[in-house]
C-alpha cells in the first residue's frame, strides 16, 4: 500500500467515528477528569481525529510526510484530552486546536531543514 493509499484509507476510517454533542462531550470529559475512564478518553480522541487531519493538511507545504504530521497532531490531541477541564465552559475542539498546532509546529521545527 502506498503512502497516499494509506492516508486515503485513514481519512476514510476516521469519518466513521461519530461527532459528539456538547452534552456527550461534557459527560465524557467529566468522566475522564474525575475517574480517568479510558473509554471516555478514547471516545473524546476518536471524535476529534477529523479536526487533527484538517489542521494537519494546512501544513502540507513543508515537505514532510503528511501522515507524520497527522500523527504529531494526534499526540497534541491526546495531550489536550488529558488536560481539558470541561467546567471552564469551552468545547474540547476549541481547546485542542492549540495543542494540535503546537505539536505539529514542534515536529516541523525538529524535522524541517532548509537543505
Classified by CATH at the fold level, domain 21-111 comes out as 1.20.120
pLDDT tens digits for range 3-32 = 778 899 999 999 999 999 999 999 999 999
Percent of the chain topping pLDDT 70: 97
- 65 burial level (CB within 10 Å; 0-12, 13-18, 19+): exposed
For residue 33, give Cα distances in angstroms to 15, 81, 87, 108: 26, 9, 10, 31
**What is Dmax (Cα atoms) for the chain?**
49
How many angstroms separate the CA atoms of 42 and 14, rounded?
13
Regions in the chain scoring below 70 on pLDDT: 114-115
Q: What is the pTM of this model?
A: 0.93
Q: How far apart are CA 35 and CA 58, in angstroms?
A: 35
Looking at residue 58, the DSSP 8-state letter turns out to be T
Q: DSSP assignment, residue 21? A: P
Q: What is the CA radius of gyration of the chain?
A: 15
Amino acid at each position: 500500500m502506498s503512502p497516499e493509499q494509506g492516508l486515503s484509507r485513514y481519512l476514510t476510517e476516521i469519518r466513521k467515528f461519530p461527532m459528539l454533542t456538547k452534552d456527550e462531550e461534557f459527560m465524557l470529559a467529566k468522566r475522564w477528569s474525575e475517574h480517568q475512564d479510558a473509554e471516555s478518553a478514547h471516545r473524546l480522541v476518536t471524535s476529534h481525529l477529523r479536526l487533527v487531519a484538517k489542521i494537519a493538511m494546512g501544513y502540507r507545504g513543508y515537505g514532510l510526510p503528511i501522515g507524520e504530521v497527522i500523527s504529531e497532531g494526534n499526540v497534541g490531541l491526546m495531550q489536550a484530552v488529558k488536560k481539558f477541564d470541561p467546567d471552564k465552559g469551552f468545547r474540547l475542539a476549541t481547546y485542542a486546536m492549540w495543542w494540535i498546532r503546537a505539536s505539529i509546529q514542534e515536529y516541523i521545527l525538529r524535522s524541517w531543514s532548509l537543505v
